[in-house]
Amino acid sequence: MTPLVVGNWKMNLTAGEAIRLAGAIAREAPADTEIVLCPPAVWLVPVASQLAGSAVALGGQDCHQVGQGAHTGDIAARQLADAGCSHVILGHSERRANHGETDAQVAAKVSAAHDAGMVAIVCVGETADQRAGGDALPTVETQLRGSLPAGCDTGNTVVAYEPVWAIGTGAAASLDDIAAMHSHAGSVVSAHSDRLAGCRILYGGSVKPENSREILALDGVNGALVGGASLVAEDFLAIARAV
Ligand code: PEP
């Protein structure tokens, strides 16, 4: 299984910064890791130009669940695909928290992404309170069952386990907790659908060059979803090389 490393640039970077970062990553990307960069939507097209001819793919950070229409400020899956995206992040905890996205909405967006021919990177993860209350595994299980619609398979869907309390905090989950959750998530998705048996499961949450090698070496961790460290070419490339 080829490991996958995804850079989520979130709402960061000017056009010039995005173009320079994409160019630097495209020039140095290791050949044996699949890499996807997810810039802000407004920079998708110039970043696509930087990635043209490289092995680095382009992804969106969200899409709407309907194909087109009166949805001011939203982006349709087909528009992302038309801009050159092969992947789209869906159900990120910042979307779930800041925009009230439910599992059902995430599932509808996943289907829209598939209809547009893209791979959906479906994010799940528990809050600090849920973990403290002993509810981490059931929370993620519920999110997975609700966010993965019929039609998901190992080719069109990737899961990203991102404990909410580890995102952007500098404190990644422990290796034992990551391994336990990835093992559980693998069982849940296989039971949910035969076609998801062996689905890639990424870890996300304060992945940095210093901790990437040991996280990515864990059984059941098939790559990483990287936020902050994806904004610095050398850091992101070090993570991609650590796979
Ligand atoms: C993320 O937002 O998906 C993420 C993993 O962020 P960070 O790497 O900054 O924790």
In this predicted model, what pLDDT tens digit does every residue of 125-151 receive, in sequence order? 999 999 999 999 999 999 999 999 999
In this predicted model, what pLDDT tens digit does every residue of 81-129 receive, in sequence order? 999 999 999 999 999 999 999 999 999 999 999 999 999 999 999 999 9
Task: Choose the residue to mutate in 8, 121, 235 for probing ligand 1, maximizing ligand atoms within 8 Å of C-beta.
Answer: 8
pLDDT averaged over the chain?
Answer: 98
Q: What is the pLDDT of residue 243?
A: 87
Assess whether pLDDT exceeds 90 at residue 229.
yes
Task: Choose the residue to mutate in 95, 96, 167, 231 for probing ligand 1, maximizing ligand atoms within 8 Å of C-beta.
Answer: 167
Residues constituting the chain: 243
Establish whether 162 is a catalytic residue.
yes
Does 167 contact ligand 1 (Cβ within 6 A)? yes
List the residue whose alpha carbon is closest to atom 4 of ligand 1.
227
Contact 6, 61 (CB under 8 A): no
Q: What is the pLDDT of residue 223?
A: 98
Percent of the chain's residues with pLDDT above 90 = 98
Does 199 contact ligand 1 (Cβ within 6 A)? no
Q: Pick the atom of ligand 1 nearest to 206's CA.
A: 10
142 alpha carbon – ligand 1 mean position (Å): 22
Which band of pLDDT confidence, cut at 50, 70 and 90, is reported for residue 1? confident
pTM of full prediction above 0.85: yes
In this predicted model, what pLDDT tens digit does every residue of 19-39 receive, in sequence order? 999 999 999 999 999 999 999
- Read out DSSP for the chain? ---EEEEE-TT---HHHHHHHHHHHHHH--TTSEEEEE--GGGHHHHHHHHTTSS-EEEES--BSSSSSS-TT--BHHHHHHTTEEEEEES-HHHHHHS---HHHHHHHHHHHHHTTPEEEEEE---HHHHHTT-HHHHHHHHHHHH--TT--TTTEEEEE--GGGTTTS-PPPHHHHHHHHHHHHHHHHHH-GGGTT--EEEESS--HHHHHHHHTSTT--EEEESGGGGSHHHHHHHHHH-
Burial class (CB in 10 A: 0-12, 13-18, 19+), 137: middle
In this predicted model, what pLDDT tens digit does every residue of 50-83 receive, in sequence order? 999 999 999 999 999 999 999 999 999 999 999 9
Does 125 contact ligand 1 (Cβ within 6 A)? no
Q: What's the rounded Cα separation, in Å, for the pair 136 and 125?
A: 8
The one catalytic residue in 64, 87, 92, 182 is: 92
Whose structure tokens read 């289907």? 111
For the segment 178-191, the average pLDDT, to the nearest whole number, is 98
Q: What is the pLDDT of residue 198?
A: 96
